[in-house]
Amino acid sequence: MVPQVVLPFHVGIFGRRIVQRGLDEITPLIQNPADRSDLVRRLNGRSRSAISAEWEVIVSRAIASVATVKYQGRLGGPSRPDLLVRGAAGGHSLEFVADIVAPSDDGISKNNPADFFFREFSRIARKECGYAGGFEIRIGDHFTGRYPDRRRRLLLPAKGQLSAFLALEFKPFFSNIRDNPTTTHSHRCCEPGVDISVKFDPSKKDHNAGQYGLCSVPYSLENNRLFYELDIKARQLRRSGFEGPKGIIVADGGCQALVANSGSGGDPWSRDEIIEHFLRKHRYVDFVTLTTCETELRNHVEYRLRHRIYWKRPFEDQKIRILHPVLGSALCSLPRPRRDPRNAWLRLREGRDIAAGWSLGASVWTPNRRLKYSARTFLALTAGTLSETQLRLSLNERMPNRAPFFEFFRRIFELNHEIRAVGILRKPDEDDDEIVFNLRPDQNMPYLGSGGESARSIEIPVAGLVRFFAQLAYELLSPGTKRFSLGQMAPSIKLALQEGILEGRMLTDAGLEQGGRVLRLRLGSRDAAVSEYR
């Protein structure tokens, strides 16, 4: 029996449940326990390698679903490829090796810290003059090199010097705004290596505007992040000792070159031009696949993956006919992302905890009948672990007086309604489930099972729960009023729930007992609600 692994509390591109399931499924493919430990360490980490490790798990699982896969096995050379793939397609056997890589622009962002500059400027502006909006900021840049090998750099101080630079250089500017807030003010700092222009417009205090060049756009055919990562992987594949087909699977780690289109005359270069150039230079690499994450705007923001396959020229039809069905089927089976790579990295970098996977305050309300609510928000509300900011967000800002969860319990309290059924609705491909409250009997409500030997059960009087949430409704929906004392959650119940949350236990079951007078919540084994695939 392979020891099971509990992944960390942060989430990435696909969400913890999907990654955990993928890790469990590829574990038998990993020959060396140390490789598995290293993969888990990277998933648990707070660095960029957590994003690339997530892609390794997801892609390996997808290819393993259509072929036989060996993960990081030795093939006679000093380097071990990520995947050795064996299978059959079109009546032909196939065997190839592939490395997985997820390029990002993190290093470029560190050397051109525009985002950090804007955050620091707003912070210091608010401190020095009381305004964080109304600013129009332009950052200059310059190019080095000559076509076709140019590079752009922003004219900013080094990241470690930015805070001190802003506080000193813009102090008179902020003082003038503080003394004359109804007047337009401008300031420009232009010196070797620095070119920053700022204008304050008092009529535009509700927003800021920034203008600067993207340094991650590939103005060089080889001096860009995509080619750099491909080049490293190609050399590793060559040292693997494998004589058959070799390929590189490129996944989106937040890299501008992966979505770049060509300008006039190849300036900037497109991803197609970069990859085609790479394949011409490294003749021993047979293919490159590219998977990018795209945003879809419907009723809400969704993400989808788009795939491309590039083949070495001249095309080898026989090889393509064998490899294409496996690669195409695997790529098309990848799950839908929960967020784009850049947002996933920001959450990871900022140390977001398990709350990042919540559908915070999400609900579906059928008045006088049923309420479906984020199970993890409900648990945190009951345990008293939500911050004030999270409480406000859970109110649904667009309809602050109609927050379904609080309105539901307020009506129950005022009209003396009775909750007739409670259960948990599973959402296996998301990092949150739903708790369902019914005001009518529901025979389809999931049965309250045992939850396993390590599960914890907590009993809450229904009347006390209703009073508790009704009180929250009055307090949160009536700002400025004195605090009410209609009900208070028993300290022993709150403590038990808080301990469960700290241990990584989440709601797995809920149901009514004792004639509907008691709500029994069942917290699963450690991390069980986040991953039931262990």
Together in a domain, 272 and 370 = no
Per-residue pLDDT, 398 = 44
State the pLDDT confidence band at 20, using cuts at 50, 70 and 90.
Answer: confident
- Domain assignment of residue 534, yes or no: no
Answer whether residue 100 shows pLDDT above 90: yes
Same-domain pairing of 82 and 151: no
In a domain, 8, yes or no: no
| Same domain, yes or no: 447 and 500 | yes
Q: Is residue 531 part of a domain?
A: no
Q: What is the 3-state secondary structure (H, E, C) of 135-161?
A: EEEEECEEEEEECCEEEEEECCCCHHH
> Both 341 and 238 in a single domain?
yes
Q: Which of 144-153, 255-264, 388-397, 422-431 has the highest mean pLDDT?
A: 144-153
The answer to whether residue 68 sits within a structural domain is yes
Of 345, 395, 384, 405, whose CA–CA distance to 502 is shortest?
Answer: 384
Name the residue range of residue 154's domain: 106-211
Residues 182 and 200 in one domain: yes
**Residue 324 falls within a domain, yes or no?**
yes
Residue 421 inside a domain? The answer is: yes
User: Residue 219: phi, psi to the nearest 5?
Assistant: -95, 0
Domain end position, chosen among 295, 321, 347: 347
Q: Evaluate whether residue 530 is within a structural domain.
A: no
CATH of the domain at 234: 3.40.91
Of 2-6, 98-102, 255-259, the range with the lowest mean pLDDT is 2-6
Q: Are residues 306 and 224 located together in one domain of the fold? A: yes
- Domain-terminating residue out of 347, 378, 399: 347
Are 303 and 204 members of one domain? no
479 pLDDT above the threshold of 80:
no
Tokens of 526: 């450690």
**Same structural domain, 334 and 408:** no
Whether residue 440 sits in one domain with residue 390:
yes
User: What pLDDT sits at residue 346?
Assistant: 76
- CA-CA distance, 100 to 86, in Å (whole number)? 17
Q: Is the pLDDT higher at 124 or at 47?
A: 124
517 in the same domain as 415 = yes
Q: Which tokens in the block code for residue 83?
A: 């995947």
C-alpha span between 423 and 500 (Å, rounded)? 19
| Domain-located, residue 194 | yes
Residue 114 C-alpha from the chain's centroid: 21
Structurally, the chain folds into a number of domains equal to: 3
Q: Kindly state whether residues 295 and 331 are assigned to the same domain.
A: yes
Q: The whole model's pTM is what?
A: 0.77
Q: Helix and strand tally (H, E) in the chain?
A: 16, 19
Q: Given this model, what pLDDT does residue 530 score?
A: 43
Query: Both 182 and 250 in a single domain?
Result: no
Classify residue 30 by its DSSP letter: B
Which tokens go with 27? 């574990």
For the stretch 24-67, pLDDT in tens is 899 999 988 889 888 888 887 778 888 999 999 999 999 999 99
Last residue of a domain, one of 314, 347, 380: 347
- Contacts of residue 256, defined as CB under 8 A and 6 or more positions apart, other chains included, come to 105, 214, 216, 217, 218, 225
Residue 270: Cβ-neighbour burial (10 angstroms; 0-12, 13-18, 19+) = middle
Q: What DSSP state is assigned to residue 446?
A: P
